[in-house]
Structure 1
């Protein structure tokens, strides 16, 4: 970890816009020029997706994800949904023990994906630069909040900031990486 995350990952809602890009370097240079703080660089993140055997989470647009990050060593348990912006995460210490506990509760692994990810902080935003084999490169601009009434305002602000970074509305990708990999 290169800087303290502060409140960047605190909140029950994540307003996020994802953009497909040809190359990450131009965005990395723009972030540096604006004084963005690096949080993690050169991480490899593996997301382990979990659901109940009857698929009830997928049926209600929810996800349980165990995210293992190397070399940072961070492990997150992420609950997404219902709804596109609902997201709660907590740090864990041991990914093997966490996976063992979740499977003991009845969860089954339904898939995995791995991405190369760099995370930067600038103002209220966290910006991730992702590369996934077979899918390409993406930039996510996001903010976390506990205020459900502010989601529409944050959506406008996130998009405006992304456009300031030189990202184009025509390159917005609304699908999750998991959905894209399934369709590929």
Structure 2
């Protein structure tokens, strides 16, 4: 996969980068309407199941899609609220069952996150409205950085879009959905 959508990607040591933020949604319908207006299109439905594996640093997950394909995604990003740099590598697979079996045996499984995702493209930003099983509704912004764009530029874009979508600072969350589920005791293998 050369592109992830929503703009150009940057490769540093084989890794791409974007600026991300995650927020709990109090008014999911209002944010959905604002995302549709900003993107000029209805969201694309992407049901996903992410299996997370034990790794010494960063996060490694196998994302499954309903078409039977998958993507192995490794990423590193700080566990802090607000916009932050995420560096990631994605490898597609046509055999997610086989890959999961090998990774589970070699590394162990931390848990599975299941979600219904609506994707909107707003300029270089991927706007995700996620309904996460066991957690509720969230917004995730991924500002895909081009090679000549700074992290500060991505943070500015994320903050501006956050305000346009009506998300407040107190709605921002840290970590991954897996972390929130683990803290709740609601992760399934």
TM-score (norm 2): 0.77
Give 2:100's aligned residue: 99
Q: In structure 2, the residue corresponding to 1:34 is in which secondary structure?
A: helix
Q: How does 1:127-146 map to 2 (within 5 A)?
A: 127-145=127-145
Maintained 8 Å contact 2:70/2:95: yes
Q: Unaligned stretches of 5+ in structure 1?
A: 52-56
Q: Is the 8 A contact 1:49 1:109 kept in 2?
A: yes
* Deviations 1:8-35, CA, capped at 9 Å, x for gaps: 4844112111111123211111122224
Is 1:49 matched with 2:44? Answer: no
Aligned length, in residue pairs: 171
Superposed, 1:63-82 pairs within 5 Å as 63-70=59-66, 73-81=68-76
Cα distance in 1 between the residues matched to 2:160 and 2:172: 13
- Please give the alpha-carbon distance, in whole angstroms, between the structure 1 residues aligned to 2:68 and 2:42: 16
Aligned residue in 2 for 1:160: 160
> Could you tell me how far 1:162 is from its partner in structure 2?
1.4
Residue ranges of structure 2 left out of the alignment (5+ in a row): 11-15, 79-84, 185-189
What's the CA shift string for 1:150-184, capped at 9, x where partnerless? Answer: 11221122111111122112211122111111111
* Root-mean-square deviation over aligned CA pairs: 2.6
Q: Distance in 2 between matches of 1:10 and 1:132?
A: 27
The whole-number CA distance in structure 2 between the counterparts of 1:117 and 1:136 is: 12
**Is the 8 Å Cα contact of residues 62 and 72 (structure 2) preserved in structure 1?**
yes
Is the 8 Å Cα contact of residues 163 and 169 (structure 1) preserved in structure 2? no
Shift of the 74–129 alpha-carbon distance from structure 1 to 2, 3 Å rule, reads farther
Residue 17 of structure 2 is matched in structure 1 by 13
Residue in 1 that maps onto 2:91: 90
Alpha-carbon contact 1:17-1:142 (below 8 Å) kept = yes
- Distance (Å, rounded) in 2 between the aligned partners of 1:82 and 1:127: 18
TM-superposition CA deviations, 1:64-119 (whole Å, max 9, x none)? 1000122x555211001265612121222221122244357x23222111111111
Taking the aligned partners of 1:119 and 1:109, their CA distance within structure 2 comes to 27
